[in-house]
């Protein structure tokens, strides 16, 4: 059985994964090592980690897979620029040198980086990689597949079928007509960063009214019953310019784009609500068509649009499929997994393992982990004051009591997560019952916009007691309502509030994780995939009667999720976190000596 190294690189979210005998051994994004968010460079550090985790060298790798086909992408770029010429000259002149010098010769570039590798380099198409990443690790024997993103080579959305070792795409929508680009256009227009701020638009949507939906459907988007669509490119600037939208977009939506970091107005909230409704409608229509065409009961999702967990939740509740499974690294990073598994099954013809429980992503805990000896050596080197708990029960008890006392706790345990979500490996945790927790964590820990909601991590066995959902959601990719008996009804005066005024009104007995529309982005925690995190929440449950904790990623705004004990310690020391639990060690902020550096994280990390 082959050892395969999968790579995504050179666009955004570079990553590497290693598959051996059809099993995912390791996977990581390059950003976690370089500390540069969405790092697009060759993933040298991620490759080195994957090889180290597998205990092999490059000479032991038989195949390297790259997640898209650069020559096809170059063909699309040339046609794009020729189609809008003479407009787009500036963009063309910026893009071509990189292509003519490097990207056209991706195979040569890879072989130069892969010193010691003597096998074959293979390429899959971008959406083929997404589809493979969605189906092969899924728990389904057979399933329909739907992929949606900005653009690969030509495809922006595709659907197909997976059966056993076979995974075939049947139809595509082509660039420039792209649901991902449409959502990113509204991300740009509402003042957030494209390829990073789409989560913010989704989080902002419940504060607004979807008053622009008809304007979008009547002018910008021609949507068919089967989910296929066309964009009116007069409103957009991404074909020929350096921004996403143009003057006609401004005229249609009542003014110029919001400037980054400026005050959010009701217009931006209404725009966010409107594009979220439109996106959900497109996805639902696509899913109904795919269900009709394939006859499948199960659906697998990947591509950046599949990270829209609000839409995923609606698809689960209202869509035609009995079950859905979403690749946790649904964006470009997951393409590394897809190409490696495609080589294993489609090229080499190996049978596919179907998991009786769980899936092939192993909880997405595929990154590096740290031995206690290494953690302690680091803590001593920086003069940190810590308690060591060699017994599991003592460590869990100390951490659970901190949470029950409304302390904000950095939690660095086990293997780092692969994908954009922190899932209890590199997380910041809090008490969801606290009315202060959302504001404290947003403004004093994460240093981000106050409107952004936090996610609950809930023991799987107690999920249905607190939320109106009863299916696994281990990757925080489904939004569901809080149970009605846990909600707090709004008063007549509160019902009159608009926009951000709604933020400080507690909506449930879990106010820190309940959004203004009574929804929550849920992570179910399973003893089998993360026993220590499960034990922590179980102990918190025993102390408080609440089987839920607040879980947000361990980083500040603009910073990649932490990777090493040093990353976690620096983030802990530079924020107003109360405690850090790293390996078997507990650090309390009030006991620590001054950090002794004057680094401003706002200059160290580019704001997203």
Indicate which residues carry an active-site annotation: 12
Q: φ and ψ at 27, to 5 degrees?
A: -160, 140
What is the rounded CA–CA span in Å between residue 101 and residue 80?
Answer: 20
Closest CA to 157 of 179, 135, 139: 179
The dihedrals phi and psi of 48, each to the nearest 5 degrees, come to -60, -40
- Could you please report the per-residue DSSP string of 59-113? GG--EEEESS-HHHHHHHHHHHHHHHTTTTHHHHHHHHHHHHHTGGGHHHHHHHH
3-class SS at 345?
Answer: helix
Phi-psi region of 607 (alpha: psi -120 to 50; beta: other; left: phi over 0): beta
Q: 393: which DSSP letter? A: H
- Which is nearest to 26 in space by CA: 43, 41, 9, 12? 43
CA atoms within 13 A on the CB side of 585: 22
Q: At 404, list the tokens.
A: 């029950």
DSSP code of residue 554: S
Q: 372-381 and 565-574 are packed helices; what angle lies between their axes, rounded to 10 degrees?
A: 50
Which tokens in the block code for residue 201? 């638009």
User: How wide is the angle at C-alpha 94 spanned by C-alphas 92 and 100, nearest 5°?
Assistant: 80
Query: Kindly report the CA angle at 367 between 157 and 350, in degrees rounded to 5?
Result: 60
* 353: number of Cβ within 10 Å: 12
In angstroms, rounded to a whole number, what is the distance separating the alpha carbons of residues 446 and 440? 9
Secondary element (H or E) of residue 522: strand 519-525
With a CB cutoff of 8 Å and minimum separation 6, the contacts of 305 are 148, 149, 157, 179, 180, 183, 279, 283, 311
| Gyration radius from the chain CA atoms | 23
């Amino acid at each position: 059985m082959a050892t395969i190294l999968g790579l995504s690189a050179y666009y955004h979210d570079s990553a590497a994964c290693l598959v051996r005998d059809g099993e995912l051994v390791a996977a990581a994004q390059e950003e976690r090592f370089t500390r540069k968010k969405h790092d697009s460079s060759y993933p040298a550090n991620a490759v080195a980690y994957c090889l180290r985790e597998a205990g092999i060298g490059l000479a032991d790798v038989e195949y390297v897979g790259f997640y898209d086909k650069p020559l096809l992408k170059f063909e699309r770029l040339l046609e794009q620029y020729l189609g809008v010429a003479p407009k787009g000259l500036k963009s063309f002149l910026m893009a071509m040198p990189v292509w003519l010098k490097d990207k056209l010769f991706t195979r040569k570039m890879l072989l130069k980086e892969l010193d010691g590798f003597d096998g074959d380099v293979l390429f899959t198409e971008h959406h083929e990689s997404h589809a493979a990443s969605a189906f092969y690790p899924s728990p389904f024997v057979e399933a329909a597949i739907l992929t949606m993103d900005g653009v690969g080579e030509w495809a922006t959305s595709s659907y197909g079928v997976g059966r056993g070792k076979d995974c075939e795409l049947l139809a595509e929508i082509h660039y420039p007509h792209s649901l991902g680009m449409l959502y990113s256009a509204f991300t740009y227009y509402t003042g957030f960063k494209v390829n990073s701020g789409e989560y913010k638009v989704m989080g902002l949507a419940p504060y607004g009214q979807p008053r622009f939906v008809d304007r979008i459907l009547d002018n910008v988007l021609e949507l068919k019953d089967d989910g296929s669509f066309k964009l009116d490119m007069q409103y957009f600037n991404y074909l020929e310019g350096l921004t996403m939208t143009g003057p006609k977009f401004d005229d249609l939506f009542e003014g110029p784009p919001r400037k980054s970091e400026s005050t959010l107005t009701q217009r931006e909230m209404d725009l966010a609500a409107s594009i979220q409704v439109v996106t959900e409608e497109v996805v639902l229509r696509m899913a109904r068509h795919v269900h009709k065409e394939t006859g499948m009961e199960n659906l697998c999702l990947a591509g950046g649009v599949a990270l829209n967990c609000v839409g995923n939740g609606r698809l689960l509740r209202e869509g035609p499929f009995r079950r859905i499974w979403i690749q946790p690294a649904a964006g470009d990073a997951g393409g590394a997994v897809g190409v490696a598994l495609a080589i294993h099954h489609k090229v080499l013809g190996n049978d596919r393992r179907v998991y009786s429980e769980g899936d092939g992503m192993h909880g997405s805990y595929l990154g590096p982990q740290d031995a206690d000896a290494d953690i302690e050596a680091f803590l001593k080197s920086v003069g940190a004051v810590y308690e060591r708990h060699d017994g599991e029960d003592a460590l869990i008890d100390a951490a659970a009591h901190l949470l029950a006392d409304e302390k904000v706790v950095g939690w660095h345990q086990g293997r780092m997560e692969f994908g954009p979500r922190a899932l209890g490996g590199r997380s910041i945790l809090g008490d969801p019952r606290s009315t202060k927790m959302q504001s404290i964590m947003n403004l004093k820990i994460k240093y981000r916009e106050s409107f952004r909601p936090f996610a609950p991590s809930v023991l799987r066995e107690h999920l249905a007691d607190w939320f109106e959902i009863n299916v696994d959601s281990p990757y925080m990719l489904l939004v569901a309502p809080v149970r009605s008996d846990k909600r707090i009804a709004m008063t007549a005066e509160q019902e009159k509030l608009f926009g951000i005024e709604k933020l400080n009104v507690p909506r449930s007995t879990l106010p820190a994780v309940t959004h203004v529309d009574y929804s929550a982005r849920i992570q179910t925690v399973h003893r089998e995939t993360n026993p220590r995190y499960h034990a922590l929440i179980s102990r918190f449950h025993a102390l408080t009667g609440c089987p839920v904790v607040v879980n947000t990623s361990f980083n500040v705004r603009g910073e990649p999720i932490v990777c090493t004990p040093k990353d976690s310690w620096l983030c802990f020391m530079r924020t107003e976190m109360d405690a850090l639990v790293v390996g078997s060690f507990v650090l309390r902020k009030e006991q620590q000596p001054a950090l002794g550096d004057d680094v401003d994280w706002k200059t160290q990390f580019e704001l997203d």
